[in-house]
Amino acid sequence: MQEEASIEVQKMMEWAKEQGIMWPKLNYPFRFQPGYLGSIALEDINPGERIIWAPNSALFTSKLAYESELKPVFDQNPEFFNRPMIAMTTFIIWEKFKGPDSKWQVFLNAQPKENFVVQDWTAQELEELQDSRLVCDVSCI
């Protein structure tokens, strides 16, 4: 059952298209009952076939953070910013602080607002990921 996407999701999809992100064989967002957000294929997708294209300029990565306007801060304080996750967190906070002046505002606003912890997933939910490395990261402690 297709429902109208929220204004926030619509803005995110428009932003993605402006960035050159394409997903030609998918209908996204698609809302499944009882309200799960997901994608639905518009045609067959073969194994190994790309389902989304995104230029490097549209990827939110630690490389982006390290090369941002915060680079002098990171370079002057390597003892604090030697871990990518800390640099990314700092970059996210900085971009959120910039508000409408940030290229990433729409993207950041569309991110989940509730805490999401994979460690809290059930064994069945983890199995559905079909990603043995992530499952091991969570459960092979």
Reported as type and span, the H/E element at residue 87 is: helix 84-98
88 and 134 in a single domain? The answer is no
96 and 132 in a single domain? The answer is no
Q: Considering the domain boundaries, does residue 43 fall inside one? A: yes
108 and 131 in a single domain? The answer is no
Domain region containing 20: 7-114
pLDDT value for 141: 55
130 and 99 in a single domain? The answer is no
Beta-carbon count within 10 A of 91 CB: 22
Work out how many domains the chain is built from and give that number.
Answer: 2
Q: Considering the domain boundaries, does residue 92 fall inside one? A: yes
Query: Mind listing the pLDDT tens digit for each residue in 99-138?
Result: 999 999 999 988 777 766 766 777 787 777 777 777 777 7
Query: Mind listing the pLDDT tens digit for each residue in 33-90?
Result: 777 778 889 999 999 999 999 999 999 899 999 999 999 999 999 999 988 989 999 9
122 and 134 in a single domain? The answer is yes
Task: Give the pTM.
Answer: 0.67
Judge contact between 121 and 138, C-beta under 8 A.
Answer: yes
**pLDDT tier for residue 5 given thresholds of 50, 70 and 90:** low
